[in-house]
Structure formats: C-alpha cells, structure tokens
C-alpha cells in the first residue's frame, strides 16, 4: 500500500547502521509506534525502549521519518524512500571504493569468490538487457 505523504528524496545527513535498522522496520510496514518498533528490533539488537526512542528522534531531526500523534503515543512513518536510500548508499560506496565504476566492484567480488552461479547468471542477464537497450 502506497503512503500519501510526501517523500524525501535526498538525505540531508547520513543514516547510521542503527538508524537503518529502524528504517527497515518502517519500510516494511508503517505507521508504527515506538513500542511496535521495539518489539521487532529490540530482542535481536538487545535494545531498550530508550535506544529506540533516541534513534527515532535522530531520524526525526534528519527528516527521514515523520511522527503523528495518536492519543498518548506517536506513530512513525518513513519520509525517506527506501529505493532512494539504496541508490544514494550504492553511489557513495562505488564512489568511495571504486571510483564510481561498477566493473571493479564486480571484479572484486569475483576475485574473492563471492559470486555464486546464480549471481553470475543474473549479471549476464542484466548485461544482456543493458546491451539490448543501448542497441
């Protein structure tokens, strides 16, 4: 189900790994209360309520989430679109480590034997599609 809120397309500040955990919960389903978020990530991360609320406050300051009052609690929903976040993070990684080029990244994983037969087949399919689009 698509949200009707306006989404932020550019991150003003980077999202930390801990903040990303909260975002993943909200990207899967929102709106959510802090208690619902804690129930999902708390046991796995060994986080307490204060940790989740601190992370939510940081995300609010970064304008990655929006809070709406619901009685005595707040419900949180993402303003940052997941696809945009992944795109920005991917570009950042490529720029920092591989000069903005994809081929050296794939070569790195290939050299480390981190590509499965399924990965290689998927890469071949994608390259074929790119070739078809450019011709």
57 shares a domain with 106: no
- CA separation for the pair 63, 5 (Å, rounded): 13
CATH number at residue 92: 1.10.4040
Q: Is residue 8 part of a domain?
A: no
- Among 62, 60, 58, 53, CA closest to 77: 60
Burial of residue 50, with CB atoms counted within 10 A of its CB: 0-12 exposed, 13-18 middle, 19 or more buried: exposed
Please provide the average confidence, as pLDDT, over all residues in the chain: 87
Q: Is residue 7 part of a domain?
A: no
pLDDT level of residue 12 (50, 70, 90 thresholds): low
Query: Residues 36-41: what's their mean pLDDT?
Result: 97
88 shares a domain with 77: no
70 shares a domain with 102: no
- pLDDT tens column, 65-78: 999 999 999 999 99
CATH number at residue 30: 1.10.10.10
Domain that holds residue 21: 17-81
pLDDT at residue 130 is higher than 50: yes
Position 58 scores a pLDDT of 97
- Higher-confidence residue of 63 and 110: namely 63
pLDDT level of residue 11 (50, 70, 90 thresholds): low
Running DSSP on this structure, what letter comes out for residue 5?
Answer: S
Query: Residues 42-53: what's their mean pLDDT?
Result: 95
Position 129 scores a pLDDT of 84
- CA separation for the pair 82, 53 (Å, rounded): 21
């Amino acid at each position: 189900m698509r949200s009707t809120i306006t989404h932020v397309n550019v991150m003003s500040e980077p999202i930390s790994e801990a903040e990303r955990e909260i975002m993943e919960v909200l990207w899967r389903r929102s709106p959510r209360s802090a208690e619902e978020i804690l129930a999902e990530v708390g046991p796995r991360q060994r986080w307490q309520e204060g940790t989740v609320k601190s992370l939510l406050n940081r995300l609010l300051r970064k304008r990655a989430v929006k809070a709406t009052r619901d009685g005595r609690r707040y419900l949180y929903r993402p303003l940052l679109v997941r696809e945009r976040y992944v795109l920005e993070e991917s570009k950042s990684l490529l720029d920092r480590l591989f000069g903005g080029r994809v081929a050296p990244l794939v070569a790195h994983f290939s050299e480390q034997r981190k590509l499965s037969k399924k990965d290689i087949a998927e890469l071949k399919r994608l390259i074929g599609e790119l070739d078809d689009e450019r011709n």
